[in-house]
Amino acid sequence: MKVTKRRTAVVAGAAALALLAIVAGYTVSAVIDAEESPPPSPVTTLSTSPSAVEPSAAQDSDPPPRPELPDVRDPKVWASWAVMYLDTDIDNLFTGGEPGTSTTESMIKVGIAADYLAGLQQHNPPRDPTADEADQLIRMIRDSDNDAAEQLYRRRGGDQLVQRLIAKCGLRDTRSKPGWWSETQMTAADAARLGACIARGDIVSAGWVAWILEQMRQVRGEGAFGFTETRPYDRGRPLAIKNGWTLRDDGLWHVSCLAIADWWTMAALVRYPAERGLDYGASICADVAAALAPPDETPGPTDAETAQAPARAGAWAIGGEQSF
């Protein structure tokens, strides 16, 4: 598929936004903040096979059209989002919503996974994860297991892991909190950059990138919300996501959403009063995806195929303040 056709789809999606009125408590605006693009990077098309990643087709260098972004008007809500296109010679990043940072919560677990696997590749000789390590990595991404994340984070030096992500991915406004991966402060723009950094193989090799994305496609339980509610598939496969959600002691929900697709990444960060519940933040992420995600050019599974798929694990009980 040529880039020009993809961009036409983006334009069509942006035009459809003009028909929207008030969605989930916020209105639609055409105001965006286009950030300066980072230097050109190698672009690859990711495969679900850990053994092959093929270069994408030749692409022109014209930037994609600027999308229209929704504008949250509720004074009790802080929300920010970003979308990054990866299929052009120069990556294009567009942002909207409020300036500033928010806590990543469990969204950063995909970065922990990428850094941990990169560490294994640096062994002499390089090695694959053990059965126990693989189990921890899978539970950390699919089930948002905090204990698994904590162990992997500590083995890679704790705060040093976040500092490596900042350096390798060119994160401009990310600040770590030593000993607390969930309280890493990040902008939506940097979250989109992190997704792009993982997708391009800047942290870990292509085979393991494909493996990480496959785990993200199998996120289950309470963490399976947000972008996939309005954009469930990408290229006929489940959209790769990782979310974070915590009701913190400040009385606010902190919700973070990240998606990595074939040629774009997307992030949304939201904070809002506790009484609105997790579903409110999930709905904002879902509406951001509905507004910004380019249409999927490949159909997903049929209803019959979906009905035959194994049921996913249900949500677990949560008590007290926890980061997911």
Q: Residue 295: its pLDDT value, please? A: 78
How would residue 195 be classed by pLDDT, with cut points 50, 70 and 90? very high
pLDDT digits (tens, 9 = 90+) for 41-70: 332 222 223 333 333 333 444 555 555 555
Average pLDDT, the chain: 77
Worst-scoring range by mean pLDDT, 5-19, 61-75, 198-212, 309-323? 309-323
Q: 262-299: buried (b, 16+ CB within 10 Å) or exposed (e) per residue?
A: bbbbbbbbbbbeeebebebbbbbbbbbbbbbbbebeee
Residue 305 or 174, more confident: 174
Nearest-CA neighbor of 100 among 186, 218, 206, 221? 186
Q: What is the pLDDT of residue 177?
A: 95
Closest to 245 in 3D by CA, of 266, 221, 264: 221
Does position 83 have pLDDT exceeding 70, yes or no?
yes
pLDDT of residue 39: 35
**What proportion of the chain, given as a percentage, has pLDDT over 90?**
64
Has residue 218 got a pLDDT over 80?
yes
Q: Per DSSP, what are the bridge partners of residue 257?
A: 243, 268
User: Is a pLDDT exceeding 90 seen at residue 24?
Assistant: no
Distance of CA 221 to the CA centre of its chain: 17
Measured CA to CA in angstroms, residue 46 lies from 56, 174, 240, 248, 277 at distances of 9, 26, 12, 36, 35
What pLDDT score was predicted for residue 183? Answer: 97
Tokens of 324: 């997911």
| pLDDT at residue number 64 | 54
Residues 18 and 4: their CA atoms lie apart, in Å, by: 22
Q: Please report the pLDDT score of residue 112 as a whole number.
A: 98
Q: Please give the pLDDT value at position 296.
A: 76
Specify the higher pLDDT residue, 221 or 19.
221
The whole-model pTM stands at 0.74
Mean pLDDT of the region 125-143: 97
- Which parts of the chain are beta strand (E)? 22-23, 26-28, 33-34, 44-45, 54-55, 70-71, 78-85, 92-97, 102-103, 185-186, 233-234, 237-238, 240-247, 252-260, 264-273
The arithmetic mean of pLDDT across residues 125-151, rounded, is 97
Instruction: Please state which of the ranges 1-10, 29-38, 188-197, 314-323 shows the lowest mean pLDDT.
Output: 314-323
Note the pLDDT tens digit of each residue in 104-113.
999 999 999 9
Average pLDDT over residues 93-121: 96
**pLDDT in the model for residue 2:** 35
pLDDT in tens, 140-187: 999 999 999 999 999 999 999 999 999 999 999 999 999 999 999 999
- Stronger pLDDT, 323 or 196, i.e. the higher one: 196
Please state the domain extents for the chain: 110-280+294-303
Residue 30 scores a pLDDT above 70: no
Query: How remote is the C-alpha of 199 from its chain's centroid?
Result: 10
Query: CA-based angle 169:267:73, to the nearest 5?
Result: 135
For residues 91-95, average pLDDT: 86
What's the confidence (pLDDT) of residue 199? 96
How many Å is the maximal CA-CA distance in the chain?
58
Q: Report CA dihedral (140, 186, 234, 16) to the nearest 10 degrees.
A: 150
pLDDT at 31 (0 to 100):
29
CATH classification number, 110-280+294-303, choose in 2.60.40.10, 3.40.50.720, 3.90.1170.30, 3.40.710.10: 3.40.710.10
